[in-house]
Chain A
Amino acid sequence: QKEVEQNSGPLSVPEGAIASLNCTYSDRGSQSFFWYRQYSGKSPELIMSIYSNGDKEDGRFTAQLNKASQYVSLLIRDSQPSDSATYLCAVLAIKAAGNKLTFGGGTRVLVKP
Chain B
Amino acid sequence: DVKVTQSSRYLVKRTGEKVFLECVQDMDHENMFWYRQDPGLGLRLIYFSYDVKMKEKGDIPEGYSVSREKKERFSLILESASTNQTSMYLCASSLGSRGWHSPLHFGNGTRLTVT
Q: Which residues of A contact B (CB under 8 A)?
A: 31-32, 34, 36, 42-46, 49, 88, 90, 92, 98-101, 103-106
Stretch at the interface among B60-68, B77-85, B98-106: B98-106
CB atoms of B42 and A106 under 8 A apart? yes
In residues 80-115 of chain B, which contact A (Cβ within 8 Å)? 90, 98-101, 103-109
Q: Which residues of A contact B108 (CB under 8 A)?
A: 42-43
Q: Is the interface of B mostly helix, strand, loop or mixed?
A: loop
A44 to B33, CA, bound (A): 14
| Interface size, chain B (Cβ < 8 Å) | 17
A-B residue pairs in contact (CB < 8 Å), sample of 13? A31-B101, A32-B101, A34-B103, A42-B108, A43-B107, A44-B90, A46-B103, A90-B104, A99-B99, A100-B100, A101-B45, A103-B43, A106-B42
Q: Which residues of B contact A (CB under 8 A)?
A: 40, 42-43, 45, 56, 90, 98-101, 103-109
A85 to chain B, nearest CB (A): 14
